[in-house]
Structure 1
Amino acid sequence: MLDTIAENQPDRRPAILVCIYEADDPLSAALDTEGGAVWAPAGARVRAQGPDEPTALADVITRQIGEADCRAVLLVGRTRKSNSFRVQMRAENRTPTGGAKVSITGPAMARATAPAAEIVRELIEAGLAADATSDSEEDVGSYLLYRILTALPDNADAPSVGLLRVPALIDGEQLRRGVQTAAAAMARHLSPLPRARLS
């Protein structure tokens, strides 16, 4: 009976969309808890988004981030250039296979809006090797980051968008800790939703 009132109250926690975009990758277990539920950082809700064809996935994410309660996107994939976690700070105007441009009229590159320095600091404090980089890998992750960033509204209230790259060789516990630490660092910058956004 005590839970009845709480269940009827709107959830004012902002949502963070965590997209693990590579198919058949054990990264998908990074958001699981021991009880099998989807993990969530303090003060935020997690929407888990799985892989899809890159163009369709970019459209799905862009549509979701246009919703009032979705305030952040964390893309999660692999790095092929480092043995550390990497926060990619920008994406170039390139297709996933490189060479051709995503957009003829779009900017040459787009900068991530996630708090890269804080994410790296908290990963290191969690005992994980990590750095931030402007080096863009030519793959689906960079393509998605570019597409999402260039679709954001041009205002100060733009959502936080970042790309976390995970080392290819890493055990399950470190993988889980890294993804959850990065998501929690982003979530700390999100404020509760105003009541108007919930109607």
Structure 2
Amino acid sequence: MVDITDPTSSDHRPAIVICAWDAKEAAWDPIEDLSGQPWSPAGARTVAVPAADPDILASTLSAHLSDGRTRALLLVGRTRRSDGFRVQIRAENRTLDGAGRMNRVGPSVARATAPVADMVRALNEAGLIADASSDAEDDVGSYLLYSVLANLEEGVDTPAIGLLRAPEGEGDAAVTRAVKTAAQAMARHLSPLPRSRAG
């Protein structure tokens, strides 16, 4: 796997970080074959970030997003509120336990920057029942979505950040297909890296 932080990297495609935040989630594995190379959509490359403690994971994801070569983040998890796939549109300013605000000076709600409509359309065209939802579930996924959106650096191009939820009990094959489909939809909106960032 190409290291996004390696300044000698010769891969000039913009990176999409894909993170399944639940350590028990085995459905998404970016390594498809014996080559050891991660799957990537056309025009982009994927960087898999494994599950970890939520605060550590939030810092890790924000660090990836501060690198100009990372142009997108796709969070992947489960939904308890739908029988179909969902692309979550927003996240609330809440601590993990829901007892208070995560960020005292931050906005009450942060909106995903990913091309949600295109992602939902692509999922449906792939034969997967999917919709967009502003229903922010009280879990690590919503916590991470708000955290990375609230910590984006000012004055830089806004990366595409989205959260894909699979129904509980959905099989590995369908989840893998949904992740690939959503990432491909995101990649279609990414422009090539300028040489100053690519080098």
Q: Give the structure 2 partner of residue 5 of structure 1.
A: none
Long gaps (5+) in structure 1: 1-7
CA distance in structure 1 between the partners assigned to 2:71 and 2:89 by the alignment: 18
Superposed CA offset, 1:96-141 (max 9, x none): 2212111111110100000000000000000000000001001000
Amino acid at match of 1:27: A
CA RMSD of aligned residues (A): 1.6
Name the SS for the 1:163 alignment partner. strand
Q: Is the contact made by 1:54 and 1:144 (CA closer than 8 Å) also made in structure 2? A: yes
Q: Which runs of 4+ in 1 moved over 4 A?
A: none
Q: In structure 2, what is the equivalent of residue 33 of structure 1?
A: 32
1:135-190 CA-partner distances (Å, limit 9, x unpaired): 10010000000000011134572101000011111122111100110011001111
Alpha-carbon distance between aligned partners in 2 of 1:133 and 1:96, rounded to the nearest angstrom? 20
- Give distance in 1, aligned partners of 2:9 and 2:73: 25
Letter in 2 for 1:149: L
Find the structure with the greater CA-based Rg.
Answer: 1
Equivalent residues in 2 for 1:53-72 (5 A)? 53-72=53-72
The answer for the alignment partner of 1:3 in structure 2 is none
Count of aligned pairs between the two proteins? 191
| Contact map agreement 2:18 2:48 (CA 8 A) in 1 | yes
Q: Displacement of 1:10 after TM fit? A: 2.8
**1:193: which partner in 2?**
193
| Partner deviation per Cα, 1:33-63 (whole Å, 9 max, x = no partner) | 2445321100101000010100110001001
Kindly indicate whether the alpha-carbon contact (under 8 Å) linking 2:28 and 2:172 is maintained by their aligned counterparts in 1: no
Partner amino acid, structure 1, of 2:118? E
In structure 2, how many angstroms separate the alpha carbons of the residues matched to 1:9 and 1:104?
A: 39
CA contact (8 A) 1:20 1:27 kept: no
What are the residue-to-residue correspondences of 1:174-189 with 2, within 5 Å?
Answer: 174-189=174-189
User: 2-side partners of 1:10 and 1:38: how far apart?
Assistant: 16
Q: Is the 1:83–1:169 contact (alpha carbons within 8 Å) kept by the matching residues of 2?
A: no
Normalising by structure 1, what TM-score? 0.91
Q: Tell me what 1:17 maps to.
A: 17
CA distance in 2, matches of 1:177, 1:111: 25
Secondary structure class of the residue paired with 2:145: helix
Please tell me the residue identity of whatever aligns with 1:196: S
Residues 62-121 of structure 1: per-residue CA shift (max 9 Å, x gap): 011101110100000110101111000000001122121111111101000000000000
- Give the Cα–Cα distance (whole angstroms) in 2 for the partners of residues 129 and 114 of structure 1: 19
SS of the residue aligned with 1:10?
Answer: coil
Partner of 2:170: 170
Which residue identity lines up with residue 85 of structure 2 in the other structure? F
